[in-house]
Amino acid sequence: MTHYIVKRLLLYIPTLLGVLAVVFILTHVVGDPSVLLIQPEASREDLEQMQHILGLDRPIWEQFWVFIRQAVQGDFGRSFWSDETAMSIVLERLPATAELAFCSLLIAVILGIPAAILAALKRNSFLDLGISTLSLFGISMPSFWLGLMMMLVFGVWLRWLPISGRGGLDHLVLPAVTLGVSMMAIVERLLRTDLVDVLSEDYVRTAAAKGLSGRRVVLRHALKNALIPTVTMIGMQLGALLGGAVVTETVFGWPGLGRLVVKSISDRDYPVVHCAVCVLAVVFISINLLVDLLYGVLDPRIRYD
């Protein structure tokens, strides 16, 4: 187990180096921040001076070397626009993003798993059909539309909840539900299918035959085995959510990473883009590792030696 984890951690190094190289090339291909930083009255000499200040007049391989050398020490430089260190800018947004991601995940799991169990147990009933139809809506609705509709109903008409911004729990409800609904629908669809398969397995029949209660058969024997694909999917969704749910963050004015990354890309703020992508890559790889370790908990047949 320890050997496996160390091996996986070592794999972080080539992955991150690859990510750094790709993001460096992409940012330098898409444009030059100096054209945005100069004032309208600027002359051609001013433009060259700005490129010099930002270090963009140096050969590209030299810029890459400096970038990699600093990045491996966790130093991505300062934002071209605010002069703050890129890392502090990115870390400042992480709590808001994590808060939103975990709350929507919670909604998806708390509502999605019981719905899937009910649908699987009452297969082909009206209840199953009803849950499936609702899930279909959940998956099909674009999040910006759902967000705006919920804002209209609960914020503008009923005035129960604040429309935008981050504050108390009340501010979290609309964005978290907006994000949670589609994820909940995916959890329900996936888990229902797997549960239906598992419930027809011999060992489930055996468990029922030896007199275990229905609840125990479903929760202990069937659900545990059916959960593996769902856990994989939740892990990937969580990774994507931690990367920032740009649309939802924009609609609800949520101060998360997604907005930061989009703004930094349009501002060509290289240091912040580099740092954000790198932090997100670490988060994503770590979640993948956790998911892989969780397989072993769910299915003791899986070994890591």
Partner 1 sequence: MRLRHRAFCALAAISVVSLFGCVSALGAEPGEIIVVQAGFGSHMDPHRGWGDNAHILQSIYDGLTRIDAEGNLHPGLAESWEQVTPETVRFHLRQGVKFHNGDELTADVVKLNVERMSDPNEPRQSYSFKFTGCTVVDKYTIEITESPADPLFINKISYMGIAAAELCGYAKSDQFAKTPIGTGPFKFVEWITDQRVVLAANDDYWRGAPVIRKIIFRSIPELSTRISELVTGGVDIVAGIPSEFVPQVEASGSVRIVPMVSMVNRVILFRCDQPDSPFAKKEVRQAMNYAVNVDLIIETVLGGRAHREAAVVHPTDFGFNPSVKPYPYDPEKAKSLLAAAGYPNGFKVDFDYNPTSATSGPKLNDVVQAIVADLAQVGVEANLIAYDQAAMSSRIYKARNVSPMFDFGWKTWYNDPGDTFYGLFHSESIYAYTTNAEIDSLIIAGRAEMDREKARPIYEKIQELLFDDAPAIFLWYVDDLYAVSNRVNWTPRVDGRIYLYDASFY
Residues of the shown chain interacting with partner 1 in the complex, contacts defined by CB under 8 A: 30-44, 46-47, 49-50, 53-54, 78-84, 92-93, 148, 151-152, 155-156, 159-171, 173, 250-253, 255-256, 259-260, 263, 266-269
**What single string gives the DSSP state of each residue in 238-274?**
HHHHHT--HHHHHHTT---HHHHHHHHHHHT-HHHHH
CB of 125 to partner 1, least distance (A): 28
Smallest gap from Cβ 141 to partner 1, in A, equals: 16
Q: Which is nearer to partner 1, 104 or 237 (CB)?
A: 104
Q: Contact 256/97 with Cβ under 8 angstroms?
A: yes
Tell me whether residue 67 or residue 254 sits nearer to partner 1 (CB atom).
254
Given a contact cutoff of 8 angstroms between Cβ atoms, the answer to whether 297 and 290 are in contact is no
Indicate the residue among 155 and 296 with the shorter CB distance to partner 1. 155
Q: In angstroms, how far apart are the furthest CA atoms of the chain?
A: 86
Rounded distance, CA 162 to CA 255, Å?
15
DSSP state of 130: H
> Toward partner 1, which CB reaches closer, 31 or 229?
31
Q: How many helices (H) and strands (E) does the chain have?
A: 14, 0
Closest to partner 1 by CB, 108 vs 199, is 108
Name the minimum Å distance from CB 195 to partner 1: 24
Q: How far is the CB of 256 from partner 1 (least distance, A)?
A: 8
Q: How far is the CB of 20 from partner 1 (least distance, A)?
A: 22
- How many whole angstroms from its chain centre is CA 16? 18
